[in-house]
């Protein structure tokens, strides 16, 4: 019986040795900052922002000219004043809607571009993990949620895999 228990303990030791996990972590955000396409993505977002700001500026200038006309033109009849006032109120509403839509459009574009780069880093991490027999590679960046930085830092391996 003692031999059977000893044999079971030894077998358990061998089994647990065989399933030892190799863990790694990489700072995905730091890697994303080094990607060559990051600059192009930032330029794309800036171009969109400038385009939207230009459109908003045009709307605001038109609004200001209507307000000035409403305040200074003494030749307007009462019906013309009411019509112009309604037009001004409508322009205010459209400007507010445009601002919200533009903000949402910018946010969607930034998220889309960032997610594409993060996915590229994630896929590179998977390849590094496969090539180096890692069971898990965790994102150690501030938003990655890694609570313990045990294991091997594979940030350099992922950078090398991406050619950066």
56-77: pLDDT as tens digits:
999 999 999 999 999 999 999 9
| DSSP character string of 60-74 | HHHHHHHHHHHHH-T
The model's confidence at residue 149, banded by pLDDT at 50, 70 and 90, is: low
Asked, for residue 34, whether it belongs to a domain, the answer is yes
CATH number at residue 139: 3.30.910
Supply the pTM of this predicted model: 0.71
Instruction: Provide the residue range defining the domain that includes 79.
Output: 23-162
Residue 84: inside a domain? yes
Question: 137-146: b or e for each residue (b if 16 or more CB lie within 10 Å)?
Answer: bbbbbeeeeb
96 within domain boundaries:
yes
Q: How many domains does the chain have?
A: 1
Partners of 161 in beta bridges: none
């Amino acid at each position: 019986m003692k031999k059977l228990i000893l044999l079971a303990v030894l077998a358990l030791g061998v089994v647990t040795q065989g399933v030892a996990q190799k863990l790694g972590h990489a700072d995905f955000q730091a890697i994303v900052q080094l990607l060559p396409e990051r600059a192009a993505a930032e330029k794309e977002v800036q171009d969109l922002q400038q385009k939207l700001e230009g459109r908003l500026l045009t709307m605001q200038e038109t609004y200001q000219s209507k307000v000035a006309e409403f305040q200074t033109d003494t030749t307007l009849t009462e019906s013309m004043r009411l019509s112009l006032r309604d037009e001004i109120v409508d322009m205010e509403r459209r400007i507010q809607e445009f601002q919200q839509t533009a903000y949402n459009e910018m946010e969607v574009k930034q998220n889309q571009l960032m997610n594409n780069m993060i996915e590229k880093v994630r896929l590179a991490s998977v390849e590094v993990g496969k090539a180096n027999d890692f069971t898990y590679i965790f994102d150690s960046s501030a938003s990655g949620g890694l609570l313990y930085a045990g294991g091997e830092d594979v940030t350099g391996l992922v950078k090398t895999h991406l050619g950066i």
